[in-house]
Amino acid sequence: MRKMYNHMRNRFVKVTMFGLALAMSACNSSTSSSDKDEASEGTAANRETNTEETYMVYLGTSGEADKENIFIYNLNTQTGELTPAGAASGGEKPTYLAFSENRQFLYAVNEKGDFEGEQSGAVTAFSVDQQNGQLTMLNQVASKGTGPCHVSVDEKNGMVLVANYGGGNVAALPLNQDGALEAATGVGQHKGSGPNKDRQEGPHAHYITPDPAQKFVFAVDLGTDQVLGYRYQDNKLVPNEPAVAYTVKAGSGPRHMAFHPNGRFAFLINELNSTMVALAYDADKGTFSEVQTITTIPADFKENNQCSAVKVSSDGKYLYGANRGHNSIVVYAINESTGELKQVQLASVGGDWPRDFTIDLTGNILLVANERSNNLVSFKIDKASGKLTASGHEVQVEAPMCPKVVPAFK
């Protein structure tokens, strides 16, 4: 029987956004994977499982402002059990999250269209208590575009990167030593459209990440069917040469991307035509070339499906992609020499509309945030086959969006 918790009845900690108050919870705590970012999430080497070491999950949601809407859990990486460990107010719709490498700071996009009178969303910075993992808000700055939907940290260059879906642009926000954010120093405005008139009437930046060497920055644009490349010049984000790093088949609607641990390959998931593209990466030029395109759903599935997130296992052997509509995680084996993919499983997500998912640092557990069924579900990973099995554990939370796993704070 599934063990479930309802946040309306289990509020362990309240951290209000405007009061900057920190309340302590009497719970166990834990560490983080640097978001170098989501593209490299799950690509660090597998940690040896230590039964005495605990982990924490931070979950962004589309919750209302002035309410608890970033939730914290302790994760048992042997069983997949999740237990509440705190909560904070992250402002309006703190959907996507990213940690600094040292886990001292957390950043969240506020997915809205108006910030302090400007047509823009926001990015919020938090300090993370190193004893218990609780959050205290540091500051909030404009994302320089409406509907920010993804955030990552470029540690080497001292930047937080944000993709603005509604604004069709990306921005780089300098980091202060105290973890607070400064105003954007560079904004990249995308241009163009695609054949899908409902979804590609203009540019829609959906994802942004530095490459493994943190030399280039790549933005995935659903509206223009492109991966665009950027670099830094005088501490500003400017287009790379060439500016377009890769173009997918028209109407594909690329959404998220993940690099392989070896740095030679990347994998691009397309929301609108339910495909996964394996790419060879030229780290000198900052460009990609196609290795293979493969479907994410069964050939006989004719209902609406919109892909969301993609992750690589930490050992580089398996690739995972989320299907919203088919409500599954597709699992592929990766040929580490060629980058080619072979499907090995389609696993039900145990809910509706998987917005995002993550793999814990031990490589034992995969967590899926099902937006419409309001549950965060854990799965055990068979490291030999890459296949997923439901752990029997989940938590209920309204409109879960983006889970991040870090080692516990002690």
Q: Which of 42-46, 98-102, 127-131, 172-176 has the lowest mean pLDDT?
A: 42-46
Confidence of residue 410 (pLDDT cuts 50, 70, 90): confident
Q: What is the pLDDT of residues 99-150, one digit of tens each?
A: 999 999 999 999 999 999 999 999 999 999 999 999 999 999 999 999 999 9
- pLDDT for 67 equals 94
The stretch 255-267 carries a mean pLDDT of 98
- pLDDT for 21 equals 36
Residue 4 has pLDDT above 60, yes or no: no
Residue 312 has pLDDT above 90, yes or no: yes
Nearest Cα to Cα of residue 321 among 393, 268, 264, 248: 268
Q: Which of residues 330 and 45 earns the better pLDDT score?
A: 330
Q: Which of 39-53, 105-119, 322-336, 365-379 has the lowest mean pLDDT?
A: 39-53
Could you tell me the maximum CA-CA distance found in the chain, to the nearest angstrom? 57
Q: What three-state secondary structure class fits 160?
A: strand
The stretch 247-270 carries a mean pLDDT of 98
The stretch 296-303 carries a mean pLDDT of 97
- How far is residue 373's CA from residue 393's CA, in Å, rounded to a whole number? 15
- pLDDT for 46 equals 42
Entry pTM: 0.89
The stretch 22-48 carries a mean pLDDT of 37
- Read off the amino acid at residue 124: T
Could you write out the DSSP letters of every residue in 172-238?
EEEBPTTSPBPPPSEEEE-----S-TTT-SS--EEEEEE-TTSS-EEEEETTTTEEEEEEEETTEEE
Radius of gyration of the chain (CA): 19
- pLDDT for 235 equals 87
Confidence of residue 25 (pLDDT cuts 50, 70, 90): very low
